[in-house]
């Protein structure tokens, strides 16, 4: 049987373990209580800061630095509700899905054998089928105007459907297509529709936030809310010259690293204030996915298109009435000139703006608005955004004699 000494030390050991356990439990309870207390104090402090910022007062009433500190502290604490979230909430409801239906001619590949061996026979009749193209758009006018990319609309669509972020579908009318800017203007029935705010794209800064919002598959998904990607304005006034005669010129474009995914063409590029600064257009990519090089048409061109349609019912294409051709070695030798900077008037329409401005066939234009015409890209850039009514000043030569003149642009015949 255990003696008294063993019993004593066993009791001491049990008591020590029990005390240690109770002490640990007490410490855990006290830490949790302090943490809850700190959280309650932080929440109370935040609420006080927000109240102070809203009332334009701080811990020391009338102290400007205290008021500013209160507002700054509240903004930091609530940084989850940042500018990107607020901008998205403001702009996203006006971003829509654009579904374009086209009637496309289809040839049966099995008939190629017949056509090869019997070319004199009557060619087989073409078959037609309907195809759909999906893109995005932005509501930019309370009249129901929706802007999207011209390449989303394509050629001769049979039906265009606009799906709003709340899932409501509208059959849209194609009001105007401006291939030069890759913009198209649609119209849906006016009513209580969300309208995006167009910013001044000339005020953009490289490095500021850029939010790309698109809605490419609103009719196919149960959730018709737009998608959002975030980046910055990477560059401004980017010129992308065409590689073939079938390509468009894209001049003065906005470059962004915000991902513009397939189907987001025609969607909105938004700044931190929730204003539309551009219409997402295309990306540079070898795989088809975004690699952080995307481009958007500046919003000022959208505003210009809207103003033209509202005032004149259509976009007015400016006309010069002249065809220019770059100077080659053969042309320079024939004209007995040595300066290669300039373009020759290859063709001109009688009584056109260029004709009335004093130009004639085989004149050599040296400058336009003071800019030397050193390349075709220079000429294209100068006339790309020319508007009806603009006055164009030029210097030219005729048979070695310099002269100057003005051209007032007019609307091209539709």
Which residues are CB-contacts of 54 (< 8 A; sequence separation ≥ 6)?
none
Asked if the model's pLDDT at residue 385 lies above 50, the reply is: yes
Among residues 182, 234, 257, 299, the one annotated as catalytic is 182
pLDDT at 59: 47
Q: Yes or no: say if 343 and 332 are a contact pair by the CB < 8 Å rule.
A: no
pLDDT at 205: 93
Average pLDDT over residues 149-168: 86
pLDDT-derived band at 344, boundaries 50, 70, 90:
very high
| Rounded Cα gap, residues 267 and 214, in angstroms | 5
State what percent of residues in the chain have pLDDT above 90: 37
CA dist list (Å): 256 to 144, 156, 162, 385, 398? 28, 31, 26, 22, 46
**What is the rounded average pLDDT for all residues in the chain?**
79
To the query of whether residue 151 is one of the catalytic residues in this protein, the response is yes
Q: Provide the token pair at 62.
A: 């009338």
Asked if the model's pLDDT at residue 49 lies above 80, the reply is: no
pLDDT digits (tens, 9 = 90+) for 186-228: 999 887 889 999 999 999 999 999 999 988 765 566 667 788 8
pLDDT-derived band at 298, boundaries 50, 70, 90:
very high
Least confident range from 24-33, 251-260, 381-390: namely: 24-33
The pTM assigned to this predicted structure is: 0.71
pLDDT digits (tens, 9 = 90+) for 166-177: 888 889 999 999
Average pLDDT over residues 297-302: 94
Asked if the model's pLDDT at residue 236 lies above 80, the reply is: yes
To the query of whether residue 314 is one of the catalytic residues in this protein, the response is no
Instruction: Give the three-class secondary structure for 114.
Output: helix
pLDDT at 61: 47
To the query of whether residue 265 is one of the catalytic residues in this protein, the response is yes
pLDDT digits (tens, 9 = 90+) for 85-104: 888 889 989 999 898 887 77
Higher pLDDT, 413 or 230: 230
pLDDT digits (tens, 9 = 90+) for 111-137: 665 666 666 665 556 666 777 778 899
Among residues 201, 265, 290, 299, the one annotated as catalytic is 265
State what percent of residues in the chain have pLDDT above 70: 69
pLDDT-derived band at 250, boundaries 50, 70, 90:
confident
CA dihedral 264, 265, 271, 276 (to 10 degrees): -120
Q: Yes or no: say if 396 and 360 are a contact pair by the CB < 8 Å rule.
A: no
Q: Nearest Cα to 162, choosing from 143, 184, 134?
A: 134
Higher pLDDT, 36 or 84: 84
Measure CA 372 to chain center. Answer: 32
Average pLDDT over residues 334-346: 90
CA dihedral 30, 32, 36, 41 (to 10 degrees): 50
pLDDT-derived band at 378, boundaries 50, 70, 90:
confident
Average pLDDT over residues 368-394: 88
């Amino acid at each position: 049987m255990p003696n008294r000494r063993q019993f004593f030390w066993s009791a001491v050991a049990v008591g020590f373990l029990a005390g240690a356990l109770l002490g640990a439990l007490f410490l855990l309870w006290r830490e949790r209580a302090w943490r809850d207390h700190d959280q309650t104090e932080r929440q109370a402090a935040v609420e006080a800061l927000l109240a102070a910022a809203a009332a334009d007062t701080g811990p020391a009433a009338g102290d400007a630095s205290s008021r500013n500190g209160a507002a700054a502290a509240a903004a930091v604490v609530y940084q989850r509700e940042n500018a990107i979230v607020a901008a998205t909430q403001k702009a996203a409801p006006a971003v829509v899905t654009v579904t374009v239906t086209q009637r496309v001619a289809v040839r049966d590949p099995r008939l190629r054998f017949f056509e090869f061996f019997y070319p004199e026979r009557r060619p087989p009749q073409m078959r037609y089928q309907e195809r759909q193209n999906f893109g995005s758009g932005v509501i930019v006018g309370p009249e129901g105007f929706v802007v999207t990319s011209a390449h989303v609309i394509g050629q001769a669509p049979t039906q265009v459907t606009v799906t709003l972020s709340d899932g409501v579908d509208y059959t849209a009318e194609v009001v105007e297509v401006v291939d030069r800017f890759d913009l198209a203007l649609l119209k849906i029935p006016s009513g209580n529709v969300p309208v995006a705010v167009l910013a001044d794209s000339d005020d953009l800064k490289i490095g500021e936030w850029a939010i790309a919002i698109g809605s490419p598959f609103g009719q196919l998904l149960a959730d018709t809310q737009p998608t959002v990607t975030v980046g910055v304005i990477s560059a401004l006034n980017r010129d992308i010259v065409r590689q073939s005669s079938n390509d468009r010129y894209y001049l003065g474009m906005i470059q962004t690293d915000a991902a513009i995914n397939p189907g987001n063409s025609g969607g909105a590029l938004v700044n931190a204030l929730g204003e539309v600064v551009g219409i997402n257009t295309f990306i540079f990519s070898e795989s088809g996915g975004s690699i952080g090089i995307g481009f958007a048409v500046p919003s000022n061109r959208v505003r210009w298109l809207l103003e033209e349609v509202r005032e004149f019912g259509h976009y007015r294409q400016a006309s010069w009435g002249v065809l220019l051709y770059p100077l080659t070695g053969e042309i320079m030798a024939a004209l007995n000139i040595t300066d290669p900077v300039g373009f020759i008037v290859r063709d001109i329409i009688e009584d056109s703006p260029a004709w009335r401005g004093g130009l004639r066939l085989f004149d050599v234009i040296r400058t336009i608005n003071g800019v030397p015409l050193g390349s075709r890209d220079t000429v294209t850039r100068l006339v790309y955004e020319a508007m009806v009514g603009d006055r164009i000043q030029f210097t030219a030569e005729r048979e070695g004699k310099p002269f100057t003149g003005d051209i007032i642009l007019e609307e091209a015949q539709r």
